[in-house]
Copies of this chain bind each other. A is one copy, B any other.
Amino acid sequence: MNDARANTIVDIAHLAGVSKSTVSRALNDSPLVGAETKQRIREIARQQRFQMSDPARRLSLGQSHVVALVTYAYKADDTVPDAFMLETMSGIASGLHAEGYDLLVIQVSPTDTDWVRRYLQSGRVDGFILLAASCTASHIQTLTEANASFVIWGGASGSHNYCSVSGDNFAGGKVATEHLLRRGRSRIGFMGGPAREPEVRERYRGYEVALRDAGKSVDPALVTYGPFSLAWGTKAVVALLEQASDLDGLFVTSDAVAIAAMEELRARGLRVPDDVAVVGYDDVALARHSAPPLTTVRQNGPLAGRLLAENLIQHLRTGAVTNVSIPAELVVRESA
C-alpha cells in the first residue's frame, strides 16, 4: 500500500506543521484559529480528500447526528403503500441532510419497547420519527420516560408534550364532505380507516361538522370503519349499500381503498359519479388514473417530511416542543 493519503487529523497536522487540536478546530470552523492558518489547513485537507472519522467524532461529542424513522415490518397485504409515505420519507431525508443529520430506518415489533433504549442509550441515534398509525401509547410513554427526542406524524391535535406534525385532517374531511354536498349529494357515506387512529377520527369530525353546517345530521348507517386494506374497501361498500341503498356519495379516507370501492360500485352496476360520487384521501399517484380519475384530498408529503425533520432537530438542539399542521387541499377530478 503506497496509499499515503492522510487518514487522521494527526496526519493533516503533520502536513500543516501544527498540532491536532488546531486541525480539529480549523475543520470545525472554530474562531479560535487564525484565519490564514484555517485556510491553509482546510486547503490541505481538501487536497488530501480528508474525511474525519465519524465514530471518533461521535464518541467525543456524545451525539450521533442520526435520526431513526420507526416503522413496522411492511406487509403488502394489510398496508397500502402510499406514494405519500415515500414522498414523506424523501422529505425527511432531505430535511435531515440539510442540517447534517442522517436517516436510519428501523423496524420494530409492536409489542417491543426495548428498542428505545437499544438505539438511544447506545448512542446510535439522537432521536426518533414515528408515525401515529404505527405508534401505541406505550411507545410514547417509553419514549417520554427515556427522555428521548421524538416527533410524531399524524398525532392527535390534542394537548401533549411532544412534537408533532399532522395534516389538517379535520379540514380535509370537512372540505371533502362539503364538496360532495355541493355536488348535490344528500346520503353521503363515510368509510374510515381504523377507528382508533387519530387521523381517521379527525377526518370524521370534519365530515360531521360539514353535514351539521348543511343542516344535516350523521346517519350511523352511513358510517363504517375498518382496516386500510383494499379487501375491506370492497366489503365495506357491500355493507354500506345494504344498510343504505340510497347512498349517493362516499368519502373514503384513503385513495387506495377508494379505488377498490369504486371498482365494487361499478361491479354492482352503479356509475361513478352519476349514481355515487366518491372522494378519496392522499392523492396517490394512481388517483389521477383511476376509473374515473379520483377526486381526493392532497397533503404535501415532502413538506411534511421536511417539517418532521426540522422540528425534531430543533427539539434536539433547544428542547422546543412544536405542533404543526399542514394544509389539506381538495383536488377535484371526475369521481365527484
Residues of A within 8 A of B (CB): 49, 51-56, 58-59, 64, 66, 69, 71, 73-76, 80-83, 85-87, 89-90, 93-94, 97, 102-107, 117-118, 121-124, 230, 233-234, 256, 259-260, 263, 266, 284-286, 288-291, 301
Q: How far is the CA of A118 from the CA of B53 in the complex (A)?
A: 10
Candidate in A89, A107, A289 with the most chain B CB atoms within 10 angstroms: A289
From residue A101, how far is it (CB to closest CB) to chain B in Å? 11
A76 and B85 contacting across the interface, CB-CB below 8 Å: no
Q: Nearest chain-B residue to A262 (Cβ)?
A: B291
A93 touches B107 (CB 8 A): yes
CA distance A53 to B74 in the complex (A): 29
A81 to B80, Cβ gap below 8 A? no
B58 engages A87 (CB within 8 Å): no
* 10 extra A-B contacts, CB within 8 A, seeds A66-B104, A73-B90, A259-B286: A49-B121, A51-B117, A54-B123, A55-B64, A56-B59, A102-B106, A103-B106, A259-B290, A263-B290, A266-B291
A124 touches B107 (CB 8 A): no
| A260 CB contacts on chain B under 8 angstroms | 289
Contact of A105 among B56, B75, B83, B93 (CB under 8 A): B93
Query: Do A59 and B66 form a contact, CB below 8 Å, given A80-B285, A107-B90, A289-B259?
Result: no
Give min CB distance, A6 to chain B, whole Å: 11
The residue in chain B whose Cβ has the minimal distance to the Cβ of A60 is B55
When A106-B102, A291-B266 are in contact, do A124 and B93 touch as well, CB less than 8 Å?
no
Q: Which residue of B lies closest to A124 (CB)?
A: B54
CB distance from A288 to the nearest CB of B (A): 7
A154 CB to nearest chain B CB (Å): 18
With both beta carbons as reference points, the residue of chain B lying nearest to A289 in the complex is identified as B260
- How many angstroms from the CA of A69 to the CA of B259 in the assembled complex? 32
30 contacts between A and B (CB under 8 A): A49-B121, A53-B59, A55-B64, A55-B123, A71-B90, A71-B93, A73-B93, A73-B94, A75-B90, A76-B87, A76-B285, A80-B285, A81-B83, A81-B85, A81-B86, A90-B107, A94-B107, A97-B106, A97-B107, A102-B104, A102-B106, A103-B104, A104-B104, A104-B105, A105-B105, A233-B289, A256-B285, A256-B286, A256-B289, A260-B289
